[in-house]
Structure 1
Amino acid sequence: MVLSSDLISAVPGLRHAFFTREGGVSDGIYAGLNGGLGSSDVPENVRENRRRMATQLGVAPENFLSVHQVHSPDVVVATGPWDSPARPKVDAIVTRTENLAIGVTTADCGPVLFVDPTRRVIGAAHAGWKGALTGVLEATLDAMETLGAEREQIVAAIGPMIRQPSYEVGAEFVERFLDADADNTIFFLPSARQGHALFDLAGFIRMRLEKAGVLMIDDLGHDTYADERFFSYRRSVHRKEPDYGRHVHAIVLEG
């Protein structure tokens, strides 16, 4: 099963996908479409899963790009394929090169896909709490502008991620966000556990995009922790599993 954004789907000349775990060859704790190059899954299974995703997006496997994510605000401009071992250590990719699928991997963090339909510039960002707080979304928009995008024309789609009812955090986490901006208190609700709160990562991402000048935002609304169609890092920890699968969410300009 592949999910898509209505806003991005309305843009001609490109394809995109928020992949679920359905439709792959991995088994065990990775059962399904695990695209995580950094996971401990059988490498041949991961390659086959990624080949299937590349086919879904209409590109050759070598043109299905992702990066070595490090929870940073850093972005790379892609102009062609790169070898998997040489993946840049960044958390977002932008390009204006056709037939080059750019994607990010997640298993609770927030994937965001971008497109300027007029200038034909696309982007993909991995926005966990740390990247979102330190500016990965704004850096992605800046990088798109260096390729000719106009911020007010950019469409953004927020994909499946852990949602507030499932995202319990401790007092130090809350304090970090309030130290950055006292107004961030609106993204926390009291938890049933003393000294804990529930964090709205999707709402925080939307706010950062809006403040950065993005006018058109679509949020798919799915909770990776609560929905077994998705891989979830936090769910794997709670189940005491040794590892977890990763989704890939990608976008490509048609040639």
Structure 2
Amino acid sequence: MDAATPTVPVVESAALAALPGVAHAFFTRQGGVSQGLYASLNGGLGSRDDPEAVRENRRRMLAALGLAPGRFAIPWQVHSADVAVATGPWTRDDSPHVDAVVTATRGLAAAVTVADCAPVLFADVNAGVVGAAHAGWKGAFGGVLEATLDAMERLGARRGDVVAALGPCIRQPSYEVGPEFAARFTAADPDNARFFAPSARPGHALFDLGGYVVARLEGAGVGTVDDLGLDTYSDEARFFSFRRATHRAEPDYGRLIAAVALTEP
């Protein structure tokens, strides 16, 4: 990072940090230039924030990763189970409408934006393949995590060699859902009942998105799964939260970025 770039706080996975030749970060909302609702490290060009502020925030994020400006491959997320392979950076306008990205290109950050949904970063250093997935309940339920692993394998990865890290997301004490939500999961698999706890409101439940994501990763045969256990909703000082903004009837919200890259040899 050059002297002109302020230090940007990051949250890291110990499992990913131990891998040689891999840079990663779960960025917080701290260390940027955005104002108001977006203060301060808003990474979402899809928000109504000043685009130039977001671009400066992204420049700072890439500097923190040790990468050149503009070296993000961030998809236009649509809560799908679709994955794209990146060989170079994307602009907002030319980014594919998918919810995960994998790459074998060094110096390119595979990244996703989140604000309660689960960010999952993947790396197989033996194959030289990394990936990032945006796993809200719909994407996780629909198979975005398994699809990401499939795409990595097509680039030469082995899922038993993959390290996957689950970053800050909305956690069970903060995630109340209605009866139809829980019924969808238990209809697909009765064992999914373990991811729901009683809520104070009759007929409602608290959903363990993080636990569900970890179970899907482990069930898919990922070699190492590291769950950071951080709650976006309850930690306002560090994280943006769509649900928190909704509960406050705020008109918009910032986006966090999670990114992983193969560093230059």
**Out of 140, 154, 166, which is 1:146 matched to?**
154
Provide the aligned C-alpha RMSD in A.
Answer: 0.7
Q: Counterpart of 1:4?
A: 12
- Superimposed CA distance per residue, residues 42-100 of structure 1 (whole angstroms, 9 cap, x where no aligned partner): 11111111111111112222212211000000000001122221110000000110000
In structure 2, the gaps of 5 or more residues are 1-8
**Alignment partners' CA distance in 2, 1:80 and 1:226:** 36
Paired amino acid for 2:249? K
For residues 92 and 77 of structure 2, what CA distance do their matches in structure 1 show?
A: 12
| In structure 2, C-alpha distance between the alignment counterparts of 1:81 and 1:66, rounded to whole Å | 8
- Equivalent in the alignment of 2:141: 133
Rounded to whole Å, the distance in 2 between the matches of 1:112 and 1:82 is 20
Q: Which runs of 5+ in 1 are unaligned?
A: none
Residue of structure 2 aligned with 1:28, choices 26, 36, 52: 36
SS at match of 1:186: helix
What's the TM-score once normalised by structure 2's chain length? 0.95
Query: What is residue 54 of structure 2 aligned with on the other side?
Result: 46
Runs (4+) of structure 1 exceeding 6 A deviation are none
Match of 1:201 among 209, 231, 234: 209
Q: Does 1:98 align with 2:127?
A: no
Alignment counterpart, residue 261 of structure 2, candidates 249, 252, 255: 252
2:73 pairs with 1:65: yes
Q: What residue number does 1:76 align with?
A: 84
Q: Which whole-Å CA distance do the structure 1 matches of 2:96 and 2:70 have between them?
A: 15
Q: Which residue number corresponds to residue 196 of structure 2?
A: 188
Structure 2 partner of 1:234: 243
The equivalent residue for 2:221 is 213
Q: Could you tell me the TM-score, scaled by structure 1's length?
A: 0.99
SS in 1 for 2:93: helix
Three-state SS of the structure 2 residue aligned to 1:68 is coil
2: distance between equivalents of 1:175 and 1:5? 33
Question: Does structure 1 residue 124 correspond to structure 2 residue 138?
Answer: no
Structure-2 separation of matches of 1:234 and 1:62: 30
2:102 alignment partner, SS class: strand
- Please identify, of 15-24 and 82-91, the stretch whose mean Cα deviation from structure 2 is larger: 82-91
* Fraction of identical pairs, as percent: 65
| AA partner of residue 133 (structure 1) | F
